[in-house]
Structure formats: C-alpha cells, structure tokens
Amino acid sequence: MFAIDGYENSLVHNHLHPDEPEFDSVDRDQSIRHILGVDADLKYPINTKEDWVGRHLLSNRFRKPRVFLAGDAAHIWVPYAGYGMTAGLACATNLAWLVVAALKGWADPSILDAYEAERHPITEQASHFVMSHAQKMLKARFPVPQNVEALDSEGYAVRTLIGMEADDLNVQQFCGEGLNFGYY
C-alpha cells in the first residue's frame, strides 16, 4: 500500500496466486479490507483501478529506417521505482533532438543511429535490474508477525528485522544510480 497524497488517497496493490488465473477471481473489496486490516464498517470510494500483467519484453531493434520505437512499445518490465516512465521519457528526449538535427540539416542523418546505440543497452540493463529486484521482492513477502507493535524486546527485534529488510530492498530499488540518471 502506498500513500498518494499522505492524507486520504492511497494505492493498494494486490497480486494473484497461481490458483487465481483471472483478475476477477479475487474479491477486490475483501482484498482491500484484508490489506488495510479494516472491517465492513469502513466506507471508501474507488477513484480508479487498473489490472496489469508483469512482463519482461525488450524489442530487438528500436529503429527500422523511418520508424523509431520508444517507451513501453520498446521495453516493458514490472513497474518498480519509476524506471518505466523514466525510461520512456529518456527515450523521447534522446530521440527528439536527433530527429531535429537530421531534419534541420545541422547533423548528418547517420546521427539517428545513436538512438538505438544509446538507448538499447541501458534499457536492457534496467530491465534485468528491475526484474531481478521484483523476484527479490516476491521472495520477501511474508505475513506481518502478530507482535509487530508489541512494546517488549521481542516486538523491538521483529521491527528491527523488518526495518532492515525493507531498507535493504528499497534503497536498492530507489537509488538505481546509473540506470535512470547519469548513465553513459
């Protein structure tokens, strides 16, 4: 569950188990109540919902003479830490000035080859990082221990362990230096 505005809008993710093949094979309302830990008394509106399938797809080519692929059309992976939209924006900004340079004639048209040469290797690296990270996150799923809020030494030990594991996974996730920014 993620806070969207820190006050009243939240994003709740739920995932299907192998024996739940269809999106509608889960009771969405019950899932939300289970995740939030609330009973039927809580009333809430749904602003929007989206079903998605985790995929790892990378196009072999980002260019076929006059056609350029950018964004999710060129590369798609499990959404993590803003790598998806960021990669799409990086493709678009990379391509835009190359196209202008070729069209306006201040660079040789062969400059357009730079697009695939620059964007394919970095999106391939990002895709492998994100997917291996997604696997680690899946393995780290376990029920929250009952005593997580206990004020005794066992409760403290549980919180310390969960905190360390969350920190370890999330620092890697959100500080992927060289994948979103600063790559060359």
Ligand X SMILES: Cc1cc2nc3c(=O)[nH]c(=O)nc-3n(C[C@H](O)[C@H](O)[C@H](O)COP(=O)(O)OP(=O)(O)OC[C@H]3O[C@@H](n4cnc5c(N)ncnc54)[C@H](O)[C@@H]3O)c2cc1C
**Minimum CB–partner distance for residue 113 and ligand X (Å):** 22
* CA pair distance 122, 58, nearest whole angstrom: 11
Residue 86 binding ligand X, by CB under 6 A: yes
Residue 84 binding ligand X, by CB under 6 A: yes
Among the listed residues 1, 3, 85, 96, the single contact to ligand X using CB under 6 A: 85
Which residue of this chain has its Cβ atom nearest to ligand X in the complex?
Answer: 71
Q: Which is nearer to ligand X, 52 or 181 (CB)?
A: 52
Number of residues counted as binding ligand X (CB under 6 A): 11
Among the listed residues 10, 31, 71, 125, the single contact to ligand X using CB under 6 A: 71
Footprint on this chain of ligand X (rule: CB under 6 A): 50, 52, 71-73, 79, 82, 84-86, 88
